[in-house]
Chains A and B, each alone.
Chain A
Amino acid sequence: MPEIKTKQFSAASVAAINDPKLRRALDRVASGFEVARLERIEEVTPDVWEVWKQEARDIKVHTLDHLDYYLDLLYTNVTAAGGHLHFAKDADQANEIVAHIARTRNVKVATKSKSMVSEELALNPVLEAIGVEVWETDLGEYIIQLAEETPSHLVAPALHKSKEDVAELFAEKLGIPYDEDIDHMAATARMVLRDKFMEADLGISGANFVVAETGTLVIFTNEGNGRLCTSAPRIHIGITGMEKVIPSLQDMAVFIRLLPRSATGQRITSYLSMITGPRRSDDEDGPEEFHLVLVDNGRSRMLADPALREALYCIRCGACLNICPVYQRIGGHAYGWVYPGPIGAVVTPNLIGLKQASKLPQASSLCGACREVCPVKIDIPRMLLDLRKKTAESPDKSERSAPIIERILAKLYVRLMSSPRTLAMAVTCGRFLQKVERIVPFSPLTKDGKWIKMAPLPPLSRWTRSRDLPTLPKQTFHEVWKKELSRDDS
């Protein structure tokens, strides 16, 4: 698995916020996707969109409820089409399956189309260690491979890079003159990669869906690289999570409409590839071998947890990232692992362990925008709340990791709020303190006494870093009610 940096979330997010270049990139791309998505919904009308969403969700609910049956059916049909289906319980096993195929077939060069699951497995270094040259061929993935970075967005992996960044990178790594014309840069990448497509023995792809009824792997791409990866080399390996299975080709219809509109605001994806098995005896070309690797790697644990199962409905469109005010501020890398944004804050703790990633579910204002845009209606805020609950009070110590001070504060708060008398006394003390603080030198209050401009202790001092906090007024509502309002009911 790739390096886990989720524990550094706070520091990484501070750094990201202070990076003006990142902010510009995020503003431009993420909001562009969101504007286009909204236009597409208006076109089909919001009512129709709701019907599609429900249909898609129903398909996912049904399939995940009967996953054993559909995986079995998928196995039968992949095999019947002349392909091989491999189940991998974890990243090591998945990587070994791919490495074994590469070793035994004497693979020297592999081309890859975009696959988040292969990022989750950290497959590339495993292949490189056995002497296979691995080439990412999705333009964004190619850029970050050259830069030795990781994707910062589910759909647009190099979203954090400006065209100037890419021009510099190409000049440095490819030894070409600096040229920030986007078409020229795309042409350069195409030229480099075209040779690799021709040389490759192995093509690796992800899968947006796999169809149980026919054993078909489905990928949505925009650059045509997916077609070359899956058809030119003599071996094709598709790698994806086991939750990507859907029952039938008919079920694809709604996802073909939902996914591109949700992801990039396109009416339809440029290339929709449906691949069933290797080349047939009467086919003129196509790979001789077709393998599909289905990865568990923690997914069955999510399946078993009723509170978190629906995270497996995700079709990785990235709409929740584009709308999320937190993601828009900090970008993808701050999340510290493969899957960023709201859905990442749910998936990551489940795949790498909650204790390790406990910051992620906390880093949300629970505004609910992610749930509103999700094409399969995943209730992300509810799952974030569930993960917070586990962090605070799970009986399982491997999950419970809330700081002791937070627990004490929660208990004190409830104690205080459980007794109106204690609360009233606390308020009296607070008012007294305020009076004293107004007259001390270097008063933390504003001159008029209405605002605290610098609270002495956390958590309030973290509020007053950049915001004023109102002071306690002369009377609480309770007091006003008793004096002025209680007998006034006409």
Chain B
Amino acid sequence: MTQTAKITVDLFVTCVIDQLYPEVGVSVVKVLRRLGVSVGFPQDQTCCGQPVYNTGYHHEATKLARRVLEQFRDSEYVVVPSGSCAATLRVYYLELFAEDPKLLEEAKTLAAKTYEFSEFLVNVLNVEDAAAFGASHQGTATYHPSCHLLRELGVKSEPRKLLRSVPGLEEKELEGAEVCCGFGGTFSVKFPHISEGMVGDKIANVQASGAETLVSCDMSCLMNIGGALNRQGSNVKVRHLAQILDADSD
């Protein structure tokens, strides 16, 4: 399962997890360590810049992107527990630095060693079975494929593969799974009425699935879906995949 030579990764934890969901970061670190990976955490990291990039402020986004390039310059691998932020590092930075040959080279180097969490587990560490590192989860769960993970990074089967291998977990089908939850960064506050409609459909499908837990690889989507579920008084829990894979997590 794990390679013999010790793999070293640096964690880009993302600002959403850092500020709002530290327990997700903890689970990511624990799971990676159980898999024999050495995990580092560059202390100066904050945000990848996607919120400003997506709103059109590329000049501003460049300032944050340059920090990320610098902080992870010497990393062997960069693991990001978010499809959306990983897509920023891998896809959007190439657009952002398209006109600057030197930084574009750096961005390409970063892109080549950056992986979203589930993708890293399945495609780099060749993890097939979550039971092997002690994962177990009693109950039903369903999976929301976040848009950037699915369509910017093309990561589709990896999270499901991991989820299905968790002992005790019963997977439920989610209707309209690949439809956006309506978060979309600043979109959610620029057009709240449209965003609310979209998340309304999503939570209706989540509740209809009969699952006790909704799992995804992006906390920003789960913040949106979870916030809407909580307002409705629903007791469906939202969890990052890493929390499901981490036996110590609730």
Residues on A facing B (Cβ under 8 Å): 10, 13-14, 17, 325-326, 329-330, 362-369, 371-372, 382, 385, 387-393, 402, 406-407, 410-411, 413-414, 417-418, 420, 423, 427, 451, 453, 458-460, 462-463, 465-470, 472-473, 475-481, 484-486, 488-490
Contacts and interface: CB of A to CB of B under 8 A. Distances in A.
B228 A489 contact: no
A472 B20 contact: yes
B196 to A, nearest CB: 5
B55 A392 contact: yes
Contacts of B61: 414
Interface in B167-204: 178-180, 182-201
B187 A391 contact: no
A478 B56 contact: no
B19 A427 contact: yes
B189 A459 contact: yes
B213 interface: no
Q: Which 5 A-B pairs have the closest CB atoms?
A: A365-B184, A392-B56, A388-B56, A367-B180, A368-B151
A367 B151 contact: yes
B144 to A, nearest CB: 12
A215 B151 CA distance: 40
Interface in B32-91: 33, 38-41, 43-47, 49, 51-61, 63-64, 67
A311 B226 CA distance: 36
Contacts of B49: 414, 417
B224 interface: yes
B33 A458 contact: no
Contacts of A369: 147, 151, 178-180
Nearest to A418: B63
Contacts of A364: 184, 187
Given A369-B180, A470-B20, A410 B231 contact: no
Given A329-B197, A418-B63, A476-B18, A389 B56 contact: yes
A468 B56 contact: no
Given A330-B194, A389-B58, A417 B18 contact: no
B194 A13 contact: yes
A385 B52 contact: no
A488 B55 CA distance: 39
B154 to A, nearest CB: 11
26 contacts: A10-B191, A17-B197, A329-B194, A329-B197, A329-B198, A362-B191, A365-B147, A366-B147, A368-B150, A369-B151, A385-B53, A385-B95, A392-B55, A402-B56, A411-B60, A413-B60, A417-B47, A420-B44, A451-B227, A463-B189, A467-B227, A473-B23, A477-B13, A480-B25, A488-B33, A489-B38
Contacts of B13: 477
B80 to A, nearest CB: 13
A486 B190 contact: no
A486 B41 contact: yes
Contacts of B51: 413
B199 A467 contact: yes
A417 B56 contact: no
Contact of A467 (B29, B56, B147, B196): B196
A423 B19 CA distance: 10
B26 A485 contact: yes
B155 interface: no
Contacts of A371: 151
Contacts of A365: 147, 180, 182-185, 187-188, 195, 198
Contacts of B58: 389, 392-393
A368 B25 contact: no
B57 A478 contact: no
A227 B26 CA distance: 67
B20 to A, nearest CB: 5
Nearest to A31: B176
Given A368-B148, A466-B228, A473 B20 contact: yes
A458 B63 CA distance: 25
A403 B25 CA distance: 35
B112 to A, nearest CB: 21
Given A325-B179, A388-B56, A420-B46, A477 B18 contact: yes
Nearest to A361: B56
B223 interface: yes
A410 B52 contact: yes
Contacts of A478: 18, 43
B247 interface: no
Nearest to B198: A325
A11 B96 CA distance: 33
A57 to B, nearest CB: 18
A217 B148 CA distance: 40
Contact of B227 (A462, A468, A473, A475): A468
Given A472-B20, A478-B18, A366 B187 contact: yes
Contacts of B33: 488-490
Contacts of A388: 54-56
B139 interface: no
Given A411-B60, A467-B228, A485-B39, 19 more contacts: A325-B180, A325-B182, A326-B194, A326-B198, A330-B194, A362-B191, A365-B147, A368-B147, A382-B95, A385-B54, A392-B57, A417-B47, A453-B231, A458-B189, A465-B196, A466-B196, A467-B199, A477-B26, A478-B18
B10 to A, nearest CB: 12
- Residue among B18, B47, B228 with max Cβ neighbours from chain A (10 Å): B18
A405 to B, nearest CB: 12
B190 A362 contact: yes
Given A364-B187, A488-B33, A489-B33, A473 B63 contact: no
Interface string B125-163: 000000000000000000000011011100000000000
A79 B21 CA distance: 68
Contacts of B67: 418
Contacts of B23: 473
B235 interface: no
B7 interface: no
B187 A462 contact: no
B43 A366 contact: no
Nearest to A330: B194
A13 B192 CA distance: 11
Nearest to B191: A363
A462 B189 contact: yes
Contacts of A13: 191, 193-194
Contacts of B95: 382, 385
A485 to B, nearest CB: 5
B3 interface: no
A410 B192 contact: no
